[in-house]
């Protein structure tokens, strides 16, 4: 394949940075942005670890001439999808689903007072 895996990794890193800034503002460093993103409820601890690793791939490409493999990119894209889907896709879809679900019927009265 003739794509630059490094360029793709830098794009993934930039995308995640912009999403964090969009949702929690710019706190002037990746670590602080990541802290605030998690504190705001956008990431679980497991997701944070995966996102940190994904961000580190982009950092390593830019600062240490790292060359990620296509498999590395697949993992990074899976992480991105796992982080972004609940923020941008699942919320609206779940709200639409909730609107279509009929309410529970009221509980029958037992006659006891």
pLDDT tens profile 38-53? 999 999 999 999 999 9
To 5 degrees, how large is the angle CA 93–CA 98–CA 100? Answer: 100
113: Cβ–Cβ under 8 A, 6 or more apart, which residues? none
Q: Where are the alpha helices (DSSP H) in the chain?
A: 5-24, 30-39, 45-64, 70-84, 91-100
Contact indicator for 73, 5 with CB cutoff of 8 Å: yes
pLDDT tens profile 63-96? 999 999 999 999 999 999 999 999 988 888 888 9
pTM to 2 decimal places: 0.78
Among 42, 52, 65, 44, smallest CA distance to 12 is for 52
pLDDT at 72 (0 to 100): 95
């Amino acid at each position: 394949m003739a794509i630059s895996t490094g360029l793709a990794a830098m794009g993934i890193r930039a995308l995640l940075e912009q999403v964090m800034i969009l949702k929690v503002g710019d706190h002037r460093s990746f670590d602080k942005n990541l802290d605030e993103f998690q504190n705001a409820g956008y990431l679980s601890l497991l997701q944070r670890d995966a996102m940190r690793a994904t961000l580190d791939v982009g950092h390593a490409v830019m600062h240490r001439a790292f060359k990620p493999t296509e498999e590395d990119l697949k993992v990074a894209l899976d992480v991105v999808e796992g982080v972004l889907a609940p923020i941008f896709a699942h919320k609206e879809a779940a709200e639409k689903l909730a609107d279509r679900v009929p309410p529970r019927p009221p509980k029958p009265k037992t006659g006891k007072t």
